[in-house]
A and B are shown apart, each in its own frame.
Chain A
Amino acid sequence: MIRRVTLLGHKDHGKSTLIGNLAIITGSVTEARINDAKKTSKKLGLQFEPGFILDSFYEEREGGLTIDTTRAQIKYKDSAFEFIDVPGHEELTKNMISGASYADVALLMVSTKKDEGIKPQTKRHIFIAKMLGITKLVVAINKMDAAKYSEEIFEEIKHDLSEYLSKIGFDRNNVAFVPISAYTGEGLIKNSKNMSWYKGATLIELLKKMSEKKEISRIELAVLLQGEIGRDKKIVAGKVVSGVLNNHSQIMLLPGKELFTINDIVVRGGSTNNAVYGENVAIVLDKEPKNEVRGKVLVEKDMKKKAVREIVAMIFFIRKISGHVSLLINGSKIDCMNIEIIKTIDIVTGKESELKIIKPLGAIQARIRLNKEVFVEDFQEMPELGRFVIYDNDKFSGIGVVEVKK
């Protein structure tokens, strides 16, 4: 099992440096790549920059910033991690979202330096991660060497940030703080003598603990359909996102409530009697579906839930929207008829208000009317069927998660 960790945090708070140095310290990167980073650092007249192991674009090295997300695998003792580096700049939030959406756990970097500390962008990243479904967070208070390894400064940042975290709904037990220096390597895999006041676990141990995957135990069946497999419209492709799909069972297609019997299930090239969570299936149905199946969901035949034309959702916008808005939901694009704002959330203060405006890099809760029915679930209950991407005139504009009242 590989543990996927996304970095979070304001630019220049040390995200790429941390991954680069961790890769070196744990022996997870070849000499050739380290030498390449060393050579480039020298050429640019810099001290050795471990971040260059990840920032491989010319523009990233010259400009000293991460432009796009990348990944690095790191092995520590018996655990394998995949670190997802993301850009810290506001205008590159789109790339940050793209990277972070694949993670199991987040690692937030906050610099102790006077003019750095907790920034609006620090909070924005936390908010986005929470929306993406990340519930566990390790906060690395970085550049402790620049703060003379001061316990007070560590505690001060911890205190200020904790307040925000609980305001936006992070469970205290799912957040851990650790003092480190990404550059000197202190606190990453070994506690530092310079911070003997810190009695907690090292960064890597905390990440390991926080990224234990929990078993998915939902029982009700849901298969999200991708489309047809070939010319035979009776054979459809999909992914089991909940429950178990059994051969010869009777199932219902939503929207539309068409009923089918399953004649065969193929997983990874072989016929099988049942398919479980996460498996991509080819399903041989007893008859052709009436319409295109992409974006539809297969459920148990006597399931009570229905497809809907109106959803309530939390939405984060990366830009203002103006024109033709559509949602990419369940893999298919559906036009938006109307967005009625219920409330606005200031993601820097965590405060809610009645204001009815959509701000770039802001969030709202809204009631959305669609021009077509869709089958959705509450994001917290079944993330695969409760999330969407927003397009404005076909331009990526934000992400949303569905809220279903119980």
Chain B
Amino acid sequence: MIIQDIKELEEKSIYIIREATNNFKNVAALWSMGKDSTSMLMLARKAFLGKVPFPVIHIDNGIDFPETYKFRDELAKKWNLDLIVAKSEIKPEMSGFACCGANKTVALKKLMKEKGFDALIVSIRRDEHGIRAKERYVSPRNKEFKWNYKNQPAEVWGNYLSELGKGGHVRVHPLLDWNEIDIWNYTKQEKIPMNPLYFSRNGFRYRSLGCTHCTVPIKSNAKNIDDIIKELETTEVEERAGREQDKEKSYVMEKLRALGYM
């Protein structure tokens, strides 16, 4: 895994986050309490003199890990976040693609409509998945949340201003350039609080965090950030190998994203 220059990445992300708040009236961010969206909040604090200037949304299906809820409440208080919890239903017969597609996306759609957000900051990274690597920094979604990936807007020389379809919104991706290892180097440098589930207990840790139903831990003895960085330098395993929704069939991520999944 390639280690990039953190200062350069930080500059780019700060620029993109500021572009979002400058060009759109009603910005919000998704916060899963994972390492990426938490790092993004750190970047937003740096971009806006210490305070995250937009609401952060947790799509809560009620089956996240207890550690995740605790981490959410503590950090929301510490960083004075404007936290919105959007409850999503969970149907026991569903899992994987159907579950993420139906439950999380539906709850997000409902909330977006209610609050009228026109831009949503999502902390995806290019190195996570081949489909996410195809994303623009600022990417329109139509009223039905659909991603028209066959006709994405031009994005030349860092001009992220794209046209908005009526009733749609844009996804803003400030972390697109970051690699998994860069996030951990940044977490270390900035002492960003992290969900304890990332660190090894009894020989296992979570490398990518979802809900309790579809996320499985990996074998690992990495008990702290330095161990994780060392582990990532040599790993041959995909980051999202423990995420059920990525694996079922080919193109499932493409379908999920086209339908509005994050």
Mask, B20-47, CB within 8 Å of A = 1, is: 0110000000000000000000000111
Contact assessment for A226 and B15 in the assembled complex, using a CB-CB cutoff below 8 Å:
yes
CB pair B159–A331 under 8 Å, yes or no, is yes
- Residue contacts A-B, CB under 8 angstroms, 9 given: A28-B2, A58-B250, A98-B136, A226-B15, A226-B22, A239-B15, A282-B47, A328-B161, A394-B163
Against B, the Cβ 8 Å flags (1 = close, 0 = not) of A277-313 are 0111010000000000010000000000000000000
- Residues in B125-168 with C-beta less than 8 Å from chain A: 126-127, 129-131, 133-134, 136, 149-150, 152-159, 161, 163
Which of the 9-residue segments B111-119, B193-201, B234-242 touches chain A?
Answer: B234-242
Choose from A67, A266, A278, A294 the contact partner of B49 (Cβ within 8 Å): A266
Supposing A280-B11, A396-B153 touch, asked if A30 and B250 sit within 8 A by C-beta, the answer is: no
Does A75 touch B at the CB level, under 8 Å? Answer: yes
Contact A101 B156 (CB under 8 A): yes
Is B262 in the interface zone, CB < 8 Å from A?
no
Q: Is B66 an interface residue (CB 8 A)?
A: no
* Of A155-163, A189-197, A229-237, A359-367, the one with at least 4 CB within 8 A of chain B: A229-237
In the complex, residue of chain B having the shortest beta-carbon distance to the beta carbon of A333? B161
Please state if A56 and B134 are interface contacts (CB–CB under 8 Å): yes
Known: A70-B133, A226-B22. A57 touches B254 (CB 8 A): yes
Asked if A123 is at the interface (CB within 8 A of a chain B CB), the reply is: no
In the bound complex, residues from chain A placing their C-beta under 8 Å from that of B154 are: 94-95, 97-98, 389, 396
A40 lies within 8 A of B161 (CB): no
Contact indicator A98/B155 (Cβ below 8 Å): yes
In the complex, the answer to whether B159 meets A328 with C-beta atoms within 8 Å is yes
A72 and B155 alpha carbons, distance in the complex (Å): 18
- Contact between A268 and B53, CB atoms less than 8 A apart: no
Query: Is B126's CB under 8 angstroms from A71's CB?
Result: yes
- CB of B93 within 8 Å of the partner chain: no
In the complex, A32 Cα to B5 Cα: how many Å? 27
For residue B7, give the distance in angstroms from its CB to the closest CB of chain A.
7
Cβ of A37 to closest chain B Cβ, rounded Å: 9
- Shortest Cβ-Cβ A-B pairs, 10 listed: A56-B130, A269-B46, A227-B22, A396-B154, A101-B156, A98-B155, A73-B2, A70-B133, A58-B251, A32-B238
User: Does A215 sit at the interface, judged by CB under 8 A?
Assistant: no
A70 to B131, CA, bound (A): 9
Interface: A137 (CB within 8 A) = no
Known contacts A2-B4, A56-B133; A229 and B19 CB within 8 A of each other: no
B7 touches A268 (CB 8 A): yes
Contact A73 B131 (CB under 8 A): no
Q: A95-B152, A394-B163 are in contact. List 9 more A-B contacts (CB 8 A).
A: A30-B236, A33-B238, A57-B134, A58-B254, A227-B22, A229-B18, A230-B53, A237-B22, A387-B157
Counting CB contacts under 8 A, is B10 at the interface? yes
